[in-house]
């Protein structure tokens, strides 16, 4: 499967430039760098390839355009390919209830995202790489599938040999100092995380309007 290998800061700048409110949208694709002065969104608020010539002339965006941008923003936020993203939506649409909320829950419950939410990785890209390299266990079983969907009650642990890695020494310090979302639980005693419940919408800080994405796929 192909993957994006270009400069990820361009993706954030593209979404900020498309924002009607002018709000600086960060997808946190580079972890803590996005919180520093080195962040490309802070330094350059224009879209990639756009020149600053006095006042900004923004063309009026259509309703379809708003839906498309919201879909792209959410897909890039979680680092999911187009086909996989659409499959998640179809799966969510088959579940009774609010499709948008179920869609978000599915993406949040991906193993790579859970690792990131537990502060065991600085970004979702790093979390995906760590999972692929077999550094994590789910309920005692070694898993290398970033798209694995966790369930309430699942326990995520770090492999014994992986604990000696400098990467985990640094990430564990962060995990012990930062609190994960309320639907996750971190245990300092054995360096493990537990899924306590399905994430509610108010527990998901993803900056998207999922209803626009539902409308996009319902055309």
Output DSSP code: residue 164. Answer: G
This prediction's pTM: 0.79
pLDDT at 193 over 70: yes
Residues 6 or more apart whose CB falls under 8 angstroms from that of 147 comprise 84, 110, 111, 112
96 touches 111 (CB < 8 A):
no
The chain-wide mean pLDDT, for the chain, equals 84
Residues 6 or more apart whose CB falls under 8 angstroms from that of 206 comprise 74, 77, 104, 107, 108
- What digits encode the pLDDT tens for the residues 127-178? 999 999 999 999 999 999 999 999 999 999 999 999 989 999 889 998 999 9
- What digits encode the pLDDT tens for the residues 25-60? 656 665 665 555 556 555 555 566 555 544 455 567
- What digits encode the pLDDT tens for the residues 78-93? 999 999 999 999 999 9
Domains defined along the chain, listed by start: 110-195 (3.10.290.10)
Query: Could you give the count of Cα atoms lying within 13 Å of 165 in the half-sphere of its Cβ?
Result: 16
What is the distance between the alpha carbons of residues 36 and 54, in angstroms, rounded to a whole number?
27
- Determine what percent of the chain is predicted with pLDDT higher than 90: 60
Q: Which residue has the higher pLDDT, 169 or 61?
A: 169
Of 18-27, 57-66, 81-90, 114-123, least confident by mean pLDDT is 18-27
């Amino acid at each position: 499967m192909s993957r994006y290998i270009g400069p990820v800061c361009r993706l954030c700048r593209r979404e900020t430039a498309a924002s009607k409110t002018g709000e600086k949208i960060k997808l946190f694709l580079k972890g803590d760098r996005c919180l520093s002065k080195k962040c490309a969104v802070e330094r350059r608020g224009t879209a990639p390839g756009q020149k600053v010539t006095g006042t900004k002339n923004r063309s009026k965006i259509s309703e379809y355009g708003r839906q498309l941008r919201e879909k792209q923003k959410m897909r890039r936020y979680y680092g999911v390919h187009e086909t996989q993203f659409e499959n998640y939506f179809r799966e969510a649409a088959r579940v009774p209830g609010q499709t948008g909320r179920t869609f978000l829950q599915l993406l949040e419950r991906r193993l790579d995202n859970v690792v990131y939410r537990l502060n065991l990785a600085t970004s979702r890209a790093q979390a995906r790489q760590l999972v692929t390299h077999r550094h994590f266990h789910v309920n005692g079983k070694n898993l290398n599938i970033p798209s694995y969907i966790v369930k309430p009650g699942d326990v995520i642990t770090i492999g014994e040999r992986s604990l000696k890695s400098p990467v985990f020494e640094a990430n564990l310090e962060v995990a012990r100092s930062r609190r994960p979302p309320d639907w996750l639980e971190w245990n300092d005693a054995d360096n493990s995380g537990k899924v306590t419940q399905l994430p509610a919408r108010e527990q998901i800080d993803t900056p998207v309007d999922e209803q626009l994405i539902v409308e996009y796929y319902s055309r």
